[in-house]
Structure 1
Amino acid sequence: MDMDRLVCLGIITSPHGIKGAVKIKTFTEKPENIFSYGELINGDESYKIDSMSIIGGNLVIATFNGINSRNEAELLRNKKLYATQDKLPELDNENEFYHNDLIDMEVKLENNESYGYVKSVHNFGSGDILEILVTSTKKNIMLSFTQEIFPHINVKKRYIVLSIPEFVD
């Protein structure tokens, strides 16, 4: 296991108030868990959450050590917050994985034919979407990350099975 692998735990969406608080969209199972992993990283910068309150769903309001004004908080807009994977809990079973485990994973069709690779994982608000680089066309396609479309994932052998929906040619 590569200890340097980073997992995105949230993204700062906007400043909140005038004292440097920010609104964070969390990608953790429970929003309060973003507070559990110590300093969060973005490039060379790290952020320590001083206080946090949950405002519903996957949104929290947080203050960071050293960010004391709305202007400073504004500079953090759209920054992704990462933790190293070794700080995260071990996953219990083979059906659990972190999003970054999917990146660069081979995508195979149900007949075991190679189709492409997972380029990235997106979430625009209505669920996870996998961006796939299709080997034959060198084009990217985006598909909803659902059990119907991706019926099987093998994390150990690093492949995911794609059941191509009818709308994809």
Structure 2
Amino acid sequence: MPDVMVGRIGRPHGLRGDVTVAVSTDDPDTRFAPGSVLDSDRGPLTVAARRRSGGALVLRFEGVEDRDAAEALRGTALSVAAETLPEVDDPDEFYDHQLVGLAVRHADGRALGEVIDVWHPPASPVLLVRRPDGTEEAVPFVRALVPTVDLAGGFLVVEPPDGMFG
């Protein structure tokens, strides 16, 4: 199973090695608890401390002792193994990694493309779909537009409004 991104390290915070983290998990208290080990392209990082500063999540990792070491981590993606994620009880909720790679079909059966990314703006999630011609279409991930998600079948159905996929 693939790794699932749970955050990205931002700017240093202070002089002692703390960093801000852009969170991309719905369970930051568990994922970023002290002692948690997160995967990264720089190797495993162990959370030594966690706190909030205003609205920002601030972490300190073991072995990151100063601002220069914290700056070196800027932009690093933090992930966990997908198999460590809890099962989702709600049939209308999905992890991003479950959606990426699904074939996208029109309600009439036509192939529209493939999900290549999931964005999380403030409103509802948005699926980024690569069309067969290589162009991309952003599809709000709401039931009115995406009535069917068939993980076992490897596809989802989109009922696009006029102009979408046009």
What band does the TM-score fall into relative to the shorter chain?
Answer: 0.7 to 0.9
Counterpart of 2:46 (choices 48, 51, 56) is 48
Corresponding residue SS for 1:42: coil
CA deviations on 1:4-61 (whole Å, 9 max, x unpaired) are x11111111221111111111212223312225931111251111111013466x411
In the alignment, what sits opposite 1:97? 94
1:155 paired to 2:162: no
Alignment of 1:1-169 (within 5 A): 2=1, 5-35=2-32, 38-55=36-53, 59-123=56-120, 127-135=124-132, 137-168=133-164, 169=166
Q: Residue 50 of structure 1 aligns to which amino acid in structure 2?
A: A
Unaligned runs of 5+ in 2: none
1: CA distance, partners of 2:141 / 2:128: 10
> Measured at CA, do residues 155 and 42 of structure 1 come closer, stay the same or move farther in structure 2, by a change above 3 Å?
same
2: CA distance, partners of 1:75 / 1:107: 39
Q: Residue 167 of structure 1 aligns to which amino acid in structure 2?
A: G
Superposition RMSD in Å: 2.1
Relative to its length, the structure with more strand (as a share) is: 1
> Measured at CA, do residues 125 and 78 of structure 1 come closer, stay the same or move farther in structure 2, by a change above 3 Å?
farther
Is the Cα–Cα contact under 8 Å of residues 31 and 54 in structure 1 kept in the other structure? no
> Measured at CA, do residues 77 and 26 of structure 1 come closer, stay the same or move farther in structure 2, by a change above 3 Å?
same
Is the Cα–Cα contact under 8 Å of residues 41 and 76 in structure 2 kept in the other structure? no
Q: Structure 2 length as normaliser, TM-score?
A: 0.86
Q: Residue 4 of structure 2 aligns to which amino acid in structure 1?
A: V
Is the Cα–Cα contact under 8 Å of residues 103 and 155 in structure 2 kept in the other structure? yes
> Measured at CA, do residues 97 and 113 of structure 1 come closer, stay the same or move farther in structure 2, by a change above 3 Å?
same
Is the Cα–Cα contact under 8 Å of residues 41 and 77 in structure 2 kept in the other structure? no
